[in-house]
Chain A
Amino acid sequence: MPHVTVDGQKVGINGEKNILEVVRKAGIELPTFCYHSELSVYGACRMCAVEVDGMGLVAACSTPPADGMAIHTNTERTQRLRRMVIELLLANHHRDCTTCEKNGMCKLQSLAYQLGVRKVRFGEREEMLPIDDSNPSVVRDPNKCILCGDCVRVCSEIQGIGVLDFAGRGSRTCVSPAFGRKLSEVECVYCGQCVAVCPTGALTGKPEGDAVWSALHDPTKTVVAQVAPAVRVALGEVFGGKPGEIETGKIVAALRKLGFAKVFDTVFGADLTAVEECHEFLGRLKKGEDLPQFTSCCPGWVKFMEQYYPDMLPNLSTCRSPQQMFGSVIKRFYSKELGVRPEDIFVVSIMPCTAKKFEAKRPEFVSDGGVRDVDAVLSTNELGLLLKQAGIVFDELEGEGFDQPFGLATGGGVIFGVTGGVAEAVLRTAAASLGVDSGRIDFQEVRGFEGTREATVRLGDAEVRVAVVHGLANARALVEAVRRKEVCYNLVEVMACPGGCVGGGGQPYPNDIPARKSRGRGLYRADRTMQLRSPSENLAVTRLYEKYLGEPGSKLAHEALHTRYGPRRRISGDMRINGATPGALDVSVCVGTGCYLRGSYDVIDVFTRLAESDEFIGRVNLKATFCLEHCDRGVSIKVGDKIVTGVTPENAERVFREEVVPRLPQES
């Protein structure tokens, strides 16, 4: 076998693609910023530089090993180089470590310490760029970016979106969304995978801890917690534990100590979702309509569908996610049992996810009175921080059980947190409700970490073709294949993050693939030890139907547990076509892809001619805008606040006279 020597130690080469992997195999941890085994090799940070006899200093990540290589990982030159790299990175980095969201979890900080950088000989960063906290999920601070490109690659290679890219050149290079926009103005789905890979505080989850403290300190509020499955196998890591250790009992005890009135299990919501989604699925399967049914538990995936595949939205399950079903049940029904007004209940969900923060703020989940179903979403990391703030010694806690009635949960709901879990839970429920194969609980065929998996499952007479996909780039490929009719499935489970929720953007660092696999194994272990495995066995769910909802798929169930979707623009912005006259009527014509292909530019021509005519000049502010989110209904225009669809170059003049002219301000 070919081999190299690493610091004198002989190590065989067994298919490793680069020196870095060989060195790690030898038990030596090389520092890296830009190397992630699941992403393409970028070779930018130079932290992994090693000395190779005859080659000098080379980047271990981007140099393949060769037989007989003598590699030295810890020479005077490599030490000097690494320190210099860190020092130069720090020279350009906003060093407000003590008040940084990433303090204590920052790779730049820990490597600077570890490598002995105690002084930065260069000045402070002078130019401060604005921080983008425009969206509910992710905060981007370009002043802390070290240009490692991890976020750029994870977004384009793993998620297939490419929200971020390098812009500018030389000393002005920065990572930026298109046109320097904010994340809320572009196609970001808030999955937080950029947050998971960012080595510094340049990308962090948006904190909501203070809002939760305010509620906990407010005597008029009844603060209720729900804990997602993926949190219980990860929170321990914040306190030095190993990924995958099940800490459910301690988490419940800790939340009670924090002052939560009730501590419930989101797994109850997951069971409810499985029952409702299974009913929906069996209905579609029977009718043969809107198949494949895509799962809708993942808010990143839902936003992705709304942006890229509005034509496929009927295939998306209308079921709310477990988080939102739970919130709805608490505010609509449980509030009555408690005798507390919904607005006085403050629902906090503890989630592994950044996109859940966005989901909780979606207008569909705000009642008419402005009451949100879920009031705040804390990530696993944030809960860890709250416990530290309260001085709770996690390791010394005695485990406690969830409150009833929504503490009752089944194994099917527990595995919602890992890729394949939702599909398996729905299959378990389907098997039970079809009354076939009742002994069957485990569906091993949908488990695993491969990007796309498929299985054909026989449920009595029915044969169900299931696909499970994680990572949105994989999901995109699958949706495209479904559209081209190359593949045919009945049920498709999608989770945006690799590994599923266990790898969410709000999970503790390091949030890498080995950690995600361990967490996933933890969830399957938890499932195995549950007395109830199929969501259909959850008595609390059954009672909820008996008491309030009737049966799965009932009218009330639809109101309380389902939602709707709509086309969503990818990039915002509009452009003035004529001058902005104060007081004139705003008229926008959509030039998004869909409308453009239907001739919106000819519509603009007609409108411009009319708006510039003697009759109307100075009374119309004409704009071109990207997407009015009515992609399915022909060219859209917006007159004041009203959206008019189905405009064509031919009827444009009539539309102008009928829709625009009556709304024109009177000439003074």
Chain B
Amino acid sequence: MAVAENEMFQRRFDKVNSIIEKHGGKVSNLIAILQEIQAEYRYLPEEVLTYVATALGIPPATVYGVATFYAQFSLKPKGKYIIKVCDGTACHVRGSEKLRYMVREKLGLDDSKDTTDDLKFTLETVSCIGACGLAPVVTVNDHEVYGQLTPEALSIILDQLVAKEKSGDGTSCANSDADADADADADADAATDSTRAAGTDVPGEGC
């Protein structure tokens, strides 16, 4: 825990300054600033929000208000791998509940907790990602889309992510998307025959 937190904190606060500067320190760019900060930290730490408020010359309560209004922002630390299980109508009837249950059990997450203590995994439920034809659908870090999943197949995907972390491949930042994508591609293709959809270009089928 300590090491994870330390790593989190060390994630270059000066980056925040350059993000604010890039947006001209304008209040009208607050949402964009928060998005980029979240991409950097994987969540919005309180002291960083306070700093943003100071830099933009607005009260911290206003920044907090914006950060809590949008579902895309999180004020709690999130895991390196964000597992989103779709629970839209199509996914729901095709068994998404079983997938969620499996993930919770495997990662030791009870109902009050969505992120593992080692800050590796976060489980989220989303309403629909527009890939209903592939139901039930799960995404990892928004870029990997797995369709027609069974709990068994999802379990293998998780095993691979855990193995990758253990082997040390995953010690670099989760946001180096290109690497993560490539690795996950290879792993997923090699180890499972789950129908992995091509990136985010899944044709939506409206629920």
Interface residues of A (CB under 8 A from B): 156, 161-169, 176-180, 186-187, 570-571, 573, 575-580, 591, 593, 596, 601, 608, 612, 624, 626
What A residues does B71 contact at CB under 8 A?
Answer: 169
Among B2, B61, B69, the residue within 8 A (CB) of A162 is B61
Interface residues of B (CB under 8 A from A): 1-2, 5-6, 9-10, 13-14, 45-47, 49-51, 53-54, 58-65, 68-71, 75
Among A179, A575, A578, the residue within 8 A (CB) of B60 is A179
What B residues does A163 contact at CB under 8 A?
Answer: 59, 61
What A residues does B51 contact at CB under 8 A?
Answer: 591, 593, 596
Rank and list the top 5 A-B pairs by shortest CB-CB distance, nearest first: A579-B2, A162-B59, A178-B60, A165-B61, A165-B65
What A residues does B50 contact at CB under 8 A?
Answer: 178, 571, 573, 626
Shortest CB distance B162–A (Å): 23
The B contact surface, by secondary structure, is helix
A167 to B75, CA, bound (A): 12
What A residues does B6 contact at CB under 8 A?
Answer: 577-579, 608, 612
A425 to B94, CA, bound (A): 79
Q: Is B9 a contact partner of A176 (Cβ separation < 8 A)?
A: no
The residue of chain A having its C-beta at the shortest distance from the C-beta of B71 within the complex is A169
Q: Is A168 a contact partner of B69 (Cβ separation < 8 A)?
A: yes
The residue of chain B having its C-beta at the shortest distance from the C-beta of A180 within the complex is B64
What B residues does A626 contact at CB under 8 A?
Answer: 47, 50
What A residues does B1 contact at CB under 8 A?
Answer: 579
A579 to B8, CA, bound (A): 12
What B residues does A161 contact at CB under 8 A?
Answer: 59
Report the number of A-B residue pairs with Cβ-Cβ less than 8 Å. Answer: 85
What A residues does B61 contact at CB under 8 A?
Answer: 162-165, 167, 176-178, 186
Shortest CB distance B46–A (Å): 5
What B residues does A168 contact at CB under 8 A?
Answer: 68-69
A593 to B54, CA, bound (A): 7
Shortest CB distance A392–B (Å): 42
Can you list 25 A-B pairs, Cβ within 8 angstroms, ordered by A?
A156-B62, A162-B58, A163-B59, A165-B62, A165-B64, A166-B69, A167-B64, A167-B68, A167-B69, A168-B68, A168-B69, A176-B61, A178-B53, A178-B59, A179-B64, A186-B61, A571-B60, A575-B47, A577-B5, A579-B1, A579-B5, A591-B47, A608-B6, A612-B6, A626-B47
The residue of chain A having its C-beta at the shortest distance from the C-beta of B65 within the complex is A165
Q: Is B64 a contact partner of A176 (Cβ separation < 8 A)?
A: yes
Q: Is B68 a contact partner of A169 (Cβ separation < 8 A)?
A: yes
What A residues does B13 contact at CB under 8 A?
Answer: 601
A156 to B1, CA, bound (A): 39
The residue of chain B having its C-beta at the shortest distance from the C-beta of A600 within the complex is B13
A169 to B68, CA, bound (A): 7
Q: Is B46 a contact partner of A167 (Cβ separation < 8 A)?
A: no
What A residues does B49 contact at CB under 8 A?
Answer: 178-179
Shortest CB distance B78–A (Å): 17
A178-B59, A178-B60, A591-B47 given; A624·B65 CB < 8 A: no
Q: With A156-B59, A167-B65, A575-B45 given, can you name 8 additional A-B contacts, CB distance below 8 Å? A: A156-B62, A163-B61, A165-B65, A169-B68, A178-B53, A178-B63, A593-B51, A601-B13
Q: Is B46 a contact partner of A573 (Cβ separation < 8 A)?
A: yes
Q: Is B64 a contact partner of A624 (Cβ separation < 8 A)?
A: no
A570 to B125, CA, bound (A): 37
Q: Is A576 a contact partner of B5 (Cβ separation < 8 A)?
A: yes
Shortest CB distance B96–A (Å): 23
What B residues does A608 contact at CB under 8 A?
Answer: 6, 10
A591 to B1, CA, bound (A): 23
What A residues does B62 contact at CB under 8 A?
Answer: 156, 162, 165
What B residues does A176 contact at CB under 8 A?
Answer: 61, 64
A16 to B179, CA, bound (A): 63
Among A162, A178, A573, A575, the residue within 8 A (CB) of B9 is A575
What A residues does B63 contact at CB under 8 A?
Answer: 178
A51 to B10, CA, bound (A): 60
Shortest CB distance A624–B (Å): 7
Shortest CB distance B36–A (Å): 18
Q: Is B69 a contact partner of A169 (Cβ separation < 8 A)?
A: yes
A178-B60, A571-B50, A573-B47 given; A601·B68 CB < 8 A: no
B2, B45, B53, most chain A CB atoms within 10 A: B2
What A residues does B65 contact at CB under 8 A?
Answer: 165-167
The residue of chain B having its C-beta at the shortest distance from the C-beta of A625 within the complex is B47
What B residues does A177 contact at CB under 8 A?
Answer: 61
Shortest CB distance A292–B (Å): 24
What A residues does B45 contact at CB under 8 A?
Answer: 575
A352 to B61, CA, bound (A): 27
What B residues does A179 contact at CB under 8 A?
Answer: 46, 49, 60, 64, 75
What B residues does A156 contact at CB under 8 A?
Answer: 59, 62
A574 to B61, CA, bound (A): 17
The residue of chain A having its C-beta at the shortest distance from the C-beta of B64 within the complex is A178
What B residues does A577 contact at CB under 8 A?
Answer: 5-6, 9
Q: Is B46 a contact partner of A165 (Cβ separation < 8 A)?
A: no
A168, A176, A178, A579, most chain B CB atoms within 10 A: A178
The residue of chain A having its C-beta at the shortest distance from the C-beta of B4 within the complex is A579
A180 to B75, CA, bound (A): 11
A389 to B150, CA, bound (A): 70
Among A169, A180, A578, A593, the residue within 8 A (CB) of B2 is A578
The residue of chain B having its C-beta at the shortest distance from the C-beta of A579 within the complex is B2
A601 to B9, CA, bound (A): 11
Shortest CB distance B127–A (Å): 14
What A residues does B59 contact at CB under 8 A?
Answer: 156, 161-163, 165, 178, 187
What A residues does B46 contact at CB under 8 A?
Answer: 179, 573, 575
Shortest CB distance A610–B (Å): 13
What A residues does B9 contact at CB under 8 A?
Answer: 575, 577, 624
A365 to B45, CA, bound (A): 37
